[in-house]
Structure formats: C-alpha cells, structure tokens
Amino acid sequence: MICFAELFVGIFSIGVGVNYGRIANNLLPPAQVSNLLKSLNINRVKVYDADPKVLQAFAGTDIELIIGLGNEYLQRMRDPQQAQTWIQQNVQPYLSQTKITCINVGNEVLGGGDTQLAAYLLPAMKTMQGALVNLGLNKQVYITTAHSLQILGTSFPPSQGAFKEDMVQYIKPILDFHAQVDSPFFINAYPYFAYKSDPNNVKLEYVLFEPNEGSVDPITNLKYDNMLYAQIDAVYSAIKALGHTDVEVKISETGWPSKGDEDEAGATVQNAGIYNRNLMQRMQQGQGTPARPSQPIDIYIFALFNENEKNGPTSERNFGLYYPDGTLVYNLGVKSYVLPRIDYSSSYKKVFSIPRLLILLLGSYSLLKR
C-alpha cells in the first residue's frame, strides 16, 4: 500500500496524449501501466502493436487507444483476406471493452530509403480501411500512418513548406485517402533533433519554448517563437501545395531525451523537463500555430517510459517521462496544487475524477503493484 504525503498534480487539456512504447525488458506489466494511466486520468494513448495483454489491460478504462500495425505486416496486409483476418483477431474481439479508435498502419515508412516498403504503404492502408468497412467498424476506427519530418524537403519558412520531390508520388495519394475517409495526417516532430545536429546555430530557447526573439516568416510576416509550431505549419503548407486543405495534421510523437551520449547536445534532464512542461502548458491554453491560431494542436508525447532495449544512441533509450519502475524522470506540471494525503489503493478513483483532462504527477511516484 502506498500513501502520498504530498502529491502534486498538473492538469492539462485533452489535447495531449502519450506514446506507450515497450521496447524494454524491465517495464511494469500492462495492467499496472493501465492503473498508472487511469490514476493520472490520461485518456489518450498510442501503442505500437496490438499485443493482447495490452488491449486487455485497457479494457473498461475509457482510454482512447491507437494501436499499431508494424512495417513488417505491410506487404501481407495488401491482401483483403489477411487484412480482415488481422482486424478480426486483433481489433474486433476487444472493441466492446477496449476503446480502440485508430490503427496506425506502419511507422515512418516514407523517407527511410526503402522504396519497396513505401510502395506497400497505401495499398495496405486502403485494404485495412476496406476490411473495417466490411466489418462495419469504420465509424469506430480510422486508418492512418505516422511520418517522420524526413519527408519534408523545405521546412522554412513555414509558408513555403514542401515535401521532397521523390516523396510526392507516395504522399499525394495518401492525402487523397485521408480526405476521402476523413482521417488525420500523423507526423513525428522532434525539434530536439534539429538542435542536436546544429547546436551552434539552432538556439536552445527556440526549441524549448523558452523566451527568445523567434523567427519571422518573410512571406506571411508571421512570427514563430518555437520550432515545433514552425514545423507543423510547414507540414500544412506542404499538404496545401499538393491540393489539400481538408486534412488535419496531428503530432503523433514529440519529446525530448533526458540523457544522451557526449556528442548529443542538449540531452539532459533539465532540458527534457523544460520542453515537456512548456509544451503541455501551451496545450492547456489551447494554443494553435501562428498560421492556424484558432485550431488547437493535437499532440502525443513521446514517451511514457524509458526503453532500455532500443537501438541507437543513448538518447533513444531516454525519452520517457517515467523510469520503468514508475518513478518520474523529472518534474512535470502546470497550475500545480497539493492534494491531501491519500491512500492510493482505495481512493484514487475518487480523487482523480476530473473528466476529460490529462493529469501528470509531479515528484517521485511509485506505482502500487497489484
């Protein structure tokens, strides 16, 4: 049993979700993760597969879940029967209890240099959509795919954003698909990587949402005080250049690592905390970008946990808000306040009852093992 003497809580709008990656061998079981997310009143989560243990753990939670179809499935999912079988096995049995709202078909397929995989992407998306229609599930579950910013050829000024020429052949029909089925365009946007690659010329304050002189788009005269908003508007401009103003952009991943190798500038606990705190505060305010000030930004933070089995530099394993044992990597929150001493085992459902809000704890947190 765990009691909290001082429990600091930051309350954020539902414009923020979280990515729950599991490339690790030391994470809490999915059932305990589900309890953690419920206690925080997080109601939107994105995962990268359709693991039955995860889907079962989220049953009855009312958490909106985006599940993933891995890149390794794309070739097979072009077959209508295989696509329908996959949905019948991995989606349909859980829908009565688990709120699956989206299937993310592939992750960062375009821009990686694999032209064969790129050619499989849209056919797989279309076939999965057709299977949802056949099963009568297309009103509950939508189809999309997440892209990296590598698909952009021009990102500044934002008004001149454009996709790489060799990407247009893939992206234009994908945009047509999104417009037809009314699903969003997912982009993984990390200002951290821009800073890491050029720390001498990219100002840290600009990428961390800290006070700075900003940059001005010379075409629109709009001022940008942070890189993420400029990246979002650049994607919208690139989409418009291909003839679409009817597709919404959602940020499927963004975050900042708390640790990195010696050559990974800016990867510190302090900067990670600043980035996510400032981002969440802006989301709480319902901010839009300079080019779309009245349209709140839709964001999923990467990631819930540090993942110790991810490949690559040290930063790749340290994007989490939490350590694997459920303790926070750094303090998070806006408009924080202190709750009375509570007994987590019996009272969290009563205490954390603010509807439709995303809550993140401040300070050390140890999850009750059930």
Copy the structure tokens of residue 95: 């829908």
Count how many residues are written for the chain: 370
Catalytic residue among 253, 264, 307, 316: 253
Q: How far is CA 362 from CA 63, 134, 321, 355, in A?
A: 21, 46, 11, 19
Catalytic residue among 6, 64, 108, 262: 108
Residue 272: which H helix or E strand, with range?
A: helix 269-284
Q: In the structure, what pLDDT confidence band is assigned to residue 25 with cuts at 50, 70 and 90?
A: very high
Would you say residue 176 has pLDDT above 70?
yes
pLDDT digits (tens, 9 = 90+) for 111-157: 988 999 999 999 999 999 999 999 999 999 999 999 999 999 999 99
> Residue 24: what are its φ and ψ, rounded to 5°?
-160, 160
pTM (predicted TM-score):
0.87
Q: How far is CA 96 from CA 37, 101, 174, 201, 227, in A?
A: 20, 12, 30, 52, 41
Q: Any catalytic annotation for residue 264?
A: no
Q: Any catalytic annotation for residue 253?
A: yes
Q: Give pLDDT, residue 333.
A: 54
Please give the Cα distance from 302 to 321 (Å, whole number).
8
pLDDT digits (tens, 9 = 90+) for 50-73: 999 999 999 999 899 999 999 999
Copy the structure tokens of residue 81: 């029967």
